[in-house]
Structure 1
Amino acid sequence: MLYSAAEQAYREVKELILSGGLPGGELISEGEIAGRMGLSRTPVREAFLRLEAEGWMRLYPKRGALVVPVADGEAEHVVDARQLVETHSVRVLADQPHARQLLVARLRENLAEQREIAARGDVAAFSAADADFHRMIVEAGENPLLATFYSSIRERQRRMTTHSITRDPGQLPRIIADHEQLTELVEAGDAAGFDAAVLVHMRQVHALNPRGVAR
């Protein structure tokens, strides 16, 4: 698919933000990105304005663009939202053995992909596969409103996961092991077990204190 120069710049810069190529707190310039991508400044400026409107950047005239860091408390909010939505889907599937079987087959295909990506150490690709794993669970609940809501936080999830794995690459096998456990709980239709396990999984990945533990 061919994109306009502005769309290309938008997609590439956003991917750099999500994948950690442009970390939060970094100040960048239109000229720097234009040179990096082989584009003129005009489409890069348009991309920056769009990214600012979405909350990924903060523009400072004559100084550049600041990549907005993950806000205080954002990880907590994303985890809480994901737990509610994902567990709801597993509850819906509890009395639908055929739908569970189809979902489990897709999750296991995704797990194979995660293992292959982890073996080559591609953190950006792994964070995308991780987000897809959880998205499949949400979409299997067949609630389009919840699926759309989940899509709206998928990018935040990706950025958080990339940051967590970059900080501690040893998390890769632990995340995969957690996903294997979650798949087994989906297969069993154990919504209560899934609810508890997915919360522990997400809080460990993102280095959040267990519930009830003072910070």
Structure 2
Amino acid sequence: MTAPISTTAASDRAYDHVKRAIIRGDLPGGTAISENALCQEIGVSRTPVHEAFLRLAAEDLIMLESRKGAVVRPMSPNEAADVLEMREAIESTAAARVVRDGRAADVGPALLAVLGEQQHAVAAGDVDRFVELDAEFHGAVIGASRNGIAVMFARTLRDRQQRLRHQLMRLRPEQLQASLDDHRALAAALEAGDAARYAAVLHEHVASHRGAL
């Protein structure tokens, strides 16, 4: 006989399921989420689903309304612009430190590996995989700076940034190749020790996301 799933495990399952759907854009902003429907869909009871909703609301991914229940919180253009602005500031500063401290060679192999995987994702039209690798690429640069504060803030922005990435790539699938080309230029700038070039390419790279707002 299969052991019953604990309430905590069931709550985590519901949380991960809904969060993934929101970030991927499967549940767009303004979508109402039925507790009953979700319970049936993933096979858990209402208590863990309610707990998951409380966690998602605390992260500002959903709103809990008395009449509508759980509703996916839309990301306003102002919020999206703020996320992109902070993301650019954090990464350009981190890249400058990587160059200054001579760590570009340390992160170079990891970036090249990601670029190779992204090329495969582009060829396969695999948006989900590309977006995950996108976060991995930029996260590697920030991590290489060894700036703990930058890493912490980047982690805070990650979910919102991933939501924007999915939105852009689904609205404009041709952006997959353009984004890969930008990543190659960023890796080249870092390898050359050119922090100013990195910042310039990153600025244009981030600007492509603004076009999808």
TM-score higher than 0.5 = yes
SS in 1 for 2:63: strand
Give the alignment partner of residue 108 of structure 1, picking from 112, 125, 136: 112
Q: AA paired with 2:174?
A: G
Q: RMSD value over aligned CA atoms?
A: 1.7
Give the alignment partner of residue 95 of structure 2, picking from 83, 90, 94: 90
- Deviations 1:115-151 (Å, cap 9, x if unpaired)? 2222222222221111111111111110111101110
SS in 2 for 1:25: coil
Gaps of 5+ in 1: 210-215
1:65 equivalent in alignment to 2:70: yes
**TM-score, normalising length from structure 2?**
0.91
Structure 1 stretches of 4+ with a deviation exceeding 4 A read none
SS in 1 for 2:100: coil
Partner of 2:138: 134
Partner of 1:213: none
CA distance in 2, matches of 1:5, 1:135: 30
CA distance in 1, matches of 2:122, 2:160: 21
Q: AA paired with 2:49?
A: V
- Deviations 1:167-212 (Å, cap 9, x if unpaired)? 1111100000000000001111111111111011111133179xxx
SS in 1 for 2:74: coil
Question: What number of residue pairs does the alignment pair up?
Answer: 207
In terms of mean alpha carbon deviation, does 125-134 or 175-184 score higher? Answer: 125-134
Contact 1:160–1:206, Cα closer than 8 Å, also in 2:
no
Give the alignment partner of residue 80 of structure 2, picking from 63, 69, 75: 75
Partner of 2:123: 119
In terms of mean alpha carbon deviation, does 161-170 or 121-130 score higher? Answer: 121-130
SS in 2 for 1:4: helix
Q: AA paired with 2:32?
A: L
Partner of 1:4: 9
Gaps of 5+ in 2: 1-5
Give percent identity, aligned residues only. 35
**TM-score, normalising length from structure 1?**
0.90
Partner of 2:151: 147
Partner of 2:198: 194
In terms of mean alpha carbon deviation, does 47-56 or 123-132 score higher? Answer: 123-132
CA distance in 1, matches of 2:98, 2:155: 20
CA distance in 1, matches of 2:84, 2:174: 21
